[in-house]
């Protein structure tokens, strides 16, 4: 009886305190240096030293109904250092400061100075509620029950804990009907995590144990590397291996899957196992939401030596060795020239080539052929009274070598030789590319060919849409007859119809003067295997 009375008294006390205090909610409205400014002030009852909690509002989709749900992620606590008439200020540690943004929610418990309210008078006894017959809710299938259990457990958890829980769900339920939906949600959570704190920037500062690993020291080129880890802690929720070729600037990532309750297993794909070696580290997430490195780190990874293969292996059959490209382009510099008279200025270009990749410092060798035919090349020339526009023609072949450097850089040089209206001619072309060959990259190029002129170009390829690569280019040229200088603006839209074929549509605008301008178009087709 005494114990029951004590519990009742404690509950009444908590209720009175809760009634007297309040939780004030505001937003971060400014960030300067290490200081954040909050739209709460003395009017809200804030005082220096008050503890605040910073949260990130997010919107996620329910895994079963797919309805949009408003939720939040905990970012971290801090203390108010100064309070004004309209704003409050807090000074954050660098780690926490790197995660917050303007618009994050701030909550603070404000203690009231008013006395606690008196306990309410006891209510008169009420008649017992009528007994309602038991009505059993309809059961759900095991896949739905499993995904709902994880969803409910993740409310208010850190983003690392959510990712780890969903990764574990996929490991334990690979055949679930919700697997595709969960993978989509994991990608959204990873994007949110990268906004809060990029993983690889924190791995070196947060080290977690929980895995025992005997790393391999040597591997053969082109063979898959299997990895095994002994789990040394029951709170491990998920784990990933990050790997790269030594000398690369970024890591690729693969999930480690459970093998019973005691082991994790994963692999580094054969395509990444090339000389001089492989570097990797392991990232883990715990059921409490902690995330960190467990084996190695981004700046001190584990190294596996991979000897360089003999030269003959550079010509063995492998995927993504060969590429055939075919392009045709028509450019008209006088489409919009309405000054009358004949001001013909155009040319037609066709090229076809074959690229063979060696995947070494000498990355690839390309051979090809082309033909350029055109008329004009001059902005003010008039072709009347039997006078015709000067014609240009050049049929040629070329050989190109591409050297691959570190950090996705490449330099290529092309030697051109052909025959035109003036006889035999030579040409040179060079390009520098920053970025992966088939990803987002920037290319600077310049070429000069006898009899037809020169061209310089800056080209940006954007690969944000996986199936639709987009290219934007600006070029200067005096082709087709080494005539007046003109500018060309080009847009390319590709479509990766299959993994080995990509058609491309090209639209361009070119001008030698404001009035002497026109449009162009072209198509291309690439086969890659």
Q: Are residues 353 and 493 in the same domain?
A: yes
- Dist. CA 274–CA 223, nearest whole Å: 9
| Residue 3, pLDDT score | 46
Domain of 59 in residue numbering reads as: 22-110
H or E element in which residue 168 lies: helix 159-172
Binning pLDDT at 50, 70 and 90, where does residue 433 land?
A: very high
Q: Which of 96-100, 267-271, 299-303 has the lowest mean pLDDT?
A: 96-100
User: Which CATH number is 232's domain given?
Assistant: 2.60.40.1930
> Which of the given ranges, 94-108, 295-309, 483-497, has the highest pLDDT on average?
483-497
Could you tell me the pLDDT band of residue 201, with boundaries at 50, 70 and 90?
A: very low
What are the residues whose beta carbons fall under 8 Å from the beta carbon of 290, sequence distance 6 or more? 160, 206, 208
Name the token pair of 239. Answer: 């784990």
Q: Does residue 48 register a pLDDT over 90? A: no
Is pTM beyond 0.85? Reply is: no
In a domain, 220, yes or no: yes
**CA–CA distance, 455 with 442 (Å, rounded to integer):** 17
- C-alpha–C-alpha distance, residues 36 and 106, integer Å: 11
Assess whether 347 and 450 both reside in one domain: yes
How many domains does the chain contain in total?
A: 4
Distance of CA 214 to the CA centre of its chain: 32
Half-sphere exposure of 334 (CA within 13 A, CB side): 22
Tokens, residue 444: 């600077």
Cis, peptide link before residue 157, omega less than 30° from 0 = no
Give the position of tokens 């293969």. 309
Q: Are residues 377 and 510 in the same domain?
A: yes
Examine residue 41 and state whether it is found in any structural domain, yes or no.
yes
Whether residue 129 lies inside any domain: the answer is no
Eight-state DSSP code of residue 496: -
Examine the domain organization and report whether 284 and 355 are in the same domain: no
Distance CA 391, CA 375 (A): 4
pLDDT tens, residue by residue, 272-331:
888 888 999 998 877 666 677 888 888 888 999 988 766 555 555 556 789 999 999 999
Give the pLDDT score at 133.
Answer: 52
> What average pLDDT does the segment 193-215 reach?
65
* CB distance 76 to 67 below 8 Å: no
* Cβ-count burial 224-238 (b if 16+ within 10 Å, e if not): ebebebebeeeebbb
Q: What pLDDT score was predicted for residue 109?
A: 81
Structure tokens at 51: 């503890």
Domain finish residue from 169, 196, 223: 196
Burial category of 97 from C-beta neighbours within 10 Å (exposed 0-12, middle 13-18, buried 19 and up): middle
Is the pLDDT reported for residue 488 higher than 70? yes
Nearest-CA neighbor of 401 among 329, 353, 342, 439?
A: 353
- Strand, helix or coil for residue 201: helix
Q: What pLDDT, in 10s, does the model give residues 104-113?
A: 889 888 776 5
Residue whose pair of structure tokens reads 């005494």 in the numeric block: 2
How far is residue 195's CA from residue 210's CA, in Å, rounded to a whole number? 27
> Domain boundary residue among 274, 309, 344?
309
Residues 6+ apart with CB under 8 A from 374: 346, 347, 348, 391, 392, 393, 479, 480, 481
pLDDT at 14: 44
Instruction: Give the CATH number of the domain where residue 399 resides.
Output: 2.40.160.40
Which H or E run includes 32?
Answer: strand 22-32
Q: How far is CA 177 from CA 65, 147, 180, 218, 461, in A?
A: 13, 10, 7, 40, 37
Same domain (yes/no): 385, 290: no
Concatenating the DSSP letter of every residue in 217-285 gives: -B--TTSPEEEEEEE--TTEEEEEEEEEETT-SS-EEEE-EEETTTEEEEEE-GGG--TTEEEEEEEEE
The two structure tokens encoding residue 517: 């301008």
CATH code for the domain of 98? 2.40.10.410
Spatial CB neighbours of 119, under 8 Å, sequence gap ≥ 6: 12, 16
Residue at a domain's end among 309, 328, 344: 309
Average per-residue pLDDT in the chain? 82
Edge-first strand order for the sheet with 257-259 is 211-212, 225-231, 263-268, 257-259
pLDDT for residue 58 = 80
Are the C-beta atoms of 324 and 238 separated by less than 8 Å? no
Any alpha helices (H) in 21-139, and if so which ranges? 94-97
**439 and 332 share a domain?**
yes
Q: Which of 37-51, 71-85, 113-127, 211-225 has the lowest mean pLDDT?
A: 113-127
Same-domain pairing of 178 and 255: no
If asked whether residues 164 and 275 sit together in one domain, one would say no
3-class DSSP state for residue 313?
Answer: helix
* 72 C-beta neighbours (distance < 10 Å), count: 14
pLDDT at 204 over 60: no
293 and 390 inside one domain: no
On whether both 303 and 327 belong to a single domain, the answer is: no
| C-beta of residue 416 within 8 angstroms of C-beta of residue 446 | no
> What is the model's pLDDT at position 367?
97
The encoded tokens of residue 406 equal 């570190």
Higher pLDDT, 280 or 199: 280
Residue 86, pLDDT above cutoff 70: yes
């Amino acid at each position: 009886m005494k114990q029951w009375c004590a519990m009742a008294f404690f509950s009444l006390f908590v209720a009175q305190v809760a009634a007297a205090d309040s939780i004030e909610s505001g937003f971060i409205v400014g960030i300067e240096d290490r200081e954040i400014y909050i739209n709460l002030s003395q009017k809200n009852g804030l005082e220096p030293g008050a503890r605040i909690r910073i949260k990130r509002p997010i919107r996620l989709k329910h895994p079963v109904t797919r309805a949009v749900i408003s939720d939040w992620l905990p970012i971290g606590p801090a203390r108010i250092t100064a309070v004004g008439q309209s704003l409050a200020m807090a000074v954050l540690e660098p780690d926490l400061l790197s995660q917050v943004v303007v618009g994050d929610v701030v909550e603070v418990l404000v203690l009231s100075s008013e006395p606690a309210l008196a306990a309410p008078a006891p209510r008169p006894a009420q008649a017992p509620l009528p007994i309602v017959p038991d009505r059993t809710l309809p059961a759900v299938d095991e896949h739905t029950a499993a995904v709902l259990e994880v969803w409910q457990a993740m409310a208010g958890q850190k983003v690392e804990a959510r990712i780890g829980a969903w990764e574990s769900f996929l490991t334990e339920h690979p055949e679930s009907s919700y697997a595709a939906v969960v993978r989509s949600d994991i990608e959204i959570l990873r994007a949110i995590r990268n906004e809060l704190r990029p993983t690889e920037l924190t791995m070196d500062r947060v080290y977690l144990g929980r895995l025992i690993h005997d790393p391999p020291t040597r591997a053969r080129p082109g063979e898959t590397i299997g990895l095994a880890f002994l789990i040394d802690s029951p709170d491990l929720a998920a784990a990933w291996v990050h790997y790269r070729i030594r000398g690369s600037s970024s890591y690729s990532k693969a999930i480690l899957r459970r093998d019973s309750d005691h082991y994790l297993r994963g692999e580094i794909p054969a395509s990444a196992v090339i000389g001089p070696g492989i570097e990797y580290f392991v990232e883990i997430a715990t059921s409490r939401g902690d995330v960190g490195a467990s084996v190695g780190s981004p700046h001190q990874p584990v190294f596996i030596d991979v000897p360089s293969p003999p030269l003959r292996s550079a010509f063995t059959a492998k995927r993504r060795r060969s590429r055939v490209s075919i392009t045709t382009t028509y450019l008209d510099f006088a489409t919009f020239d309405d000054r009358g008279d004949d001001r013909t200025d155009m040319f037609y270009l066709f090229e076809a080539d074959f690229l063979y990749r060696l995947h070494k410092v000498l990355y690839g060798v390309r051979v090809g052929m082309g033909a350029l035919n055109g008329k004009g090349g001059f902005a003010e020339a008039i072709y009347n009274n039997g006078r015709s526009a000067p014609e240009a023609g050049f049929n040629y072949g070329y050989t190109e070598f591409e050297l691959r450097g570190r950090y996705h850089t490449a330099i290529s040089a092309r030697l051109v030789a052909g025959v035109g209206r003036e006889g035999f001619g030579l040409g040179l072309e060079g390009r520098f590319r920053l970025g992966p060959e088939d990803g987002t990259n920037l290319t600077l190029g310049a070429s000069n060919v006898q009899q037809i002129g020169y061209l310089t170009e800056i080209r940006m390829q954007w690969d944000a849409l996986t199936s639709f690569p987009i290219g934007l280019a600006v070029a200067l040229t005096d082709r087709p007859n080494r005539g007046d200088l003109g500018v060309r603006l080009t847009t390319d839209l590709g479509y990766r119809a299959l993994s080995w074929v990509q058609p491309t549509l090209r639209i361009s605008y070119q001008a030698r003067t404001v009035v002497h301008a026109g449009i162009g178009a072209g198509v291309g087709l690439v086969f890659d295997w």
